[in-house]
Chains A and B, each alone.
Chain A
Amino acid sequence: MSKKLSPAKKSDEAAGYNARQAHINARLGNDELIALYRDMMRIRRFEERCLRSYQQGKIGGFLHLYIGQESVAIGCVSVMGDDDHIITAYRDHGHGLAVGMGMNEMMAENYGKYTGCSKGKGGSMHYFDPSRNFWGGHGIVGGQIPLGVGLAYGLKYQGRKGACLAFMGDGAVNQGAVHESYNLAALWSLPVIFVIENNGYSMGTSQERSSAGPSLAQRAEGYGMNWDIVENGHDVLEVRDKVSQALKLAHEKSLPSILEIRTYRYRGHSVADPDTTYRHKNEIEEYKSTKDPLMVFQKAMLAEKVLTEEIIAKIDESARAEAETSAQFAEASPYPTVEDVQKDVYWEADNPADRKSQGTLFFN
């Protein structure tokens, strides 16, 4: 029943697997390739600007940066169609930018401003943009995965096209809700792809200290689901290839699958994590110097002459400027008011003309 999506994976390199030659990538034009680079760079620069704002005391609470993982969100979202949906956990800035949210509304949300994507009510962990089929931004580890299955169920129930990409980190795979979701998705053949962004650490606990079994994706076999591993998650083209195969299964056969994407984060679990207790600086430096998603793609595209030093500089400058502008926008924006605290709680309270119920909804 269950099988690996690409059974030849272990001999990929021996067989001369080249993600650039994969069907989904071979036809990419220069503009599209440049866009992939630009979109990853926009995430990097946005995140760096977020960090600065956090250090300046402009952002409260937690800040989970996506630096190092840019190829995952961009690779996945770049192969999604207009009918596809996406939901993720709290490290959600990359996904937000990937689906087309603006830096302004995202940074303003981080600042707790009314111009934020959730009017300052959700914060960094809770971005939403249902107009772009982006259903959050969820704070509890693994808690969003049943919702992702529900989105797939809803699509199927309503006879709509499309699938749902339900993202989680490697720390989420041991939550009961995730396993319940696997079972429901497989039981009812729902068009959902469980994307595990495996950055190696669930907060400060490494995979070998938290998760039993040979791989996180292979747990799919217990549920009769297809699965695969993207070993080179830093390669945006390999991500695209594997995700598009999983999407094809979901679109054409309404079959779920688990895709584990091996990636790495450069910063701590959140900015509050001093990142000194559970891994060595060398490990981070090693990854940065050999597998940085931006660097690897830049090199390849320079070699293909798709990118030039001039284009790279321009993209970088533009991304920095966009991020800087977003910080200025956030700074200049108003906070929500105390009166806003009780809005957006109940649909009925916000739509009094259509209210059917009576009585008191709020008690102060």
Chain B
Amino acid sequence: MPVITYREALRHAMDEELARDPNVVIMGEEVAQFNGAYKITEGLLAKYGPKRIVDTPISEAGFIGMGLGASMLGVRPVMELMFFSFYSVAFDQIFNNAANVRYMSGGLINCPIVLRGPANGGTNVGATHSHTPESIAAYHPGVKVVVPSTPVDAKGLLKSAIRDNDPVIFLENTLLYGESGEVPDGEHLVPLGSANILRHGKDISIIGHGRTIQLALKAADLLKEKQNIHAEVVDLRSIRPLDEETILASVRKTNRALYVEEAKPFCSVGAMVACLIQEKAFDHLDGPVKRLNSIDAPAIYSPPIEKLQLPTVDRIYQAALDTLK
């Protein structure tokens, strides 16, 4: 199987869907002539031309709302946010319009739109550019939220998201763009709402999403090496819909649960999952569900300290030991 980067996997997904469906259009700041601020869309303008690959002005509320209006007619816009942090200037369009139009029209109108872009810290760009809004997005019924952590999932989930008839918020990570992995050529779909067990284990379930769950794999190595602890590592991949069954089955097996994520702790996805576990697998727990998040403050700029504000392999390792106490 070919080994490609997360960045290339996203590009392949868009390329294949552009070729498959004439209603798919890629839009965003610098996606065309500039070849993408993070080069995700590199080469697509040359291949598909300016009708399908559209540079927008810096005008998120305008162009996201515009894409949404076009989606009501059956166009399938894939909108790139250069940083997903910029969603805040389009909040009304995303959460009042995209999330609610189907509902308020009594199901008469669909909005098949994808909003994608990197939503992460760790790149020394300060608090304004480092938001992790997955729990804010998933709070809104009507939208779906996806967070791929590997190249193979980036491709499979993006293709599924583009074909989805509901609005999908697709959160990437700039620190993963250069990561490589095996990705099938051609048709490869990962259904939204299916978690993936990255490693099987019997002693503790480390559950999470995004880049942090990849760090958890390294923490799992350390746990095995130093403590002979066998951690099961579960990547949610999709926040809404949520694969409750896989989460609960893992916890019922290991009896211990730790949720890891880059987001801040208050009302995070981990808070939601911890709540679900205590409600539906309480009798299987041998201890409290723990969570590991970024240190609860705006993203600090200072490069060496920002690394430590985010979850690290060492902090995940330590949190796992705390969970097992």
Q: Which residues of A contact B (CB under 8 A)?
A: 87, 116-122, 126, 128-131, 135-140, 143-155, 157-158, 176-177, 180-181, 183-184, 187, 343-348, 350-351, 356-363
Contact = CB atoms under 8 A, between A and B. Distances in A.
Given A345-B141, A358-B191, A359-B238, 11 more contacts: A128-B106, A130-B109, A140-B96, A143-B92, A143-B97, A146-B93, A152-B69, A177-B61, A180-B63, A184-B59, A348-B164
A180 B96 CA distance: 17
B241 A121 contact: no
A347 B74 contact: no
Given A180-B62, A347-B165, A150 B70 contact: yes
Q: Which 5 A-B pairs have the closest CB atoms?
A: A150-B69, A146-B65, A180-B62, A359-B193, A344-B107
B242 A183 contact: no
Contact of B242 (A87, A152, A360): A360
Nearest to B27: A153
Contacts of B141: 345-346, 362
Contacts of A131: 108
A157 B70 contact: yes
A144 B98 CA distance: 11
Contact of A360 (B74, B165, B193): B193
Contacts of B194: 358-359
A134 to B, nearest CB: 10
Given A154-B75, A183-B62, A147 B97 contact: yes
A91 to B, nearest CB: 16
Interface in B65-93: 65-75, 92-93
B142 interface: yes
B57 interface: yes
Contacts of A351: 165
Nearest to B77: A150
A360 B244 contact: yes
Contacts of B244: 359-360
B203 to A, nearest CB: 26
Interface of B: 23, 25, 51, 56-57, 59, 61-75, 92-93, 96-97, 101-110, 141-142, 144, 160, 163-166, 189, 191-195, 238, 240-245, 272
Contacts, number: 192
A148 B269 CA distance: 34
Given A122-B105, A184-B57, A151 B191 contact: no
A138 B109 CA distance: 13
A358 B65 contact: no
B106 A118 contact: yes
A146 B68 contact: yes
B75 A146 contact: no
Contacts of B242: 359-360, 363
B61 A137 contact: no
Contact of A177 (B23, B92, B192): B92
A157 B92 contact: no
Contacts of B25: 157
B239 to A, nearest CB: 10
Contacts of B107: 119, 343-344, 350
A344 B103 contact: yes
Contacts of A116: 106
Contacts of B96: 139-140, 143
A6 B13 CA distance: 50
A200 B291 CA distance: 55
B72 A155 contact: no
A39 B65 CA distance: 32
A149 B142 contact: no
Contact of B142 (A155, A158, A346): A346
Contacts of A343: 107
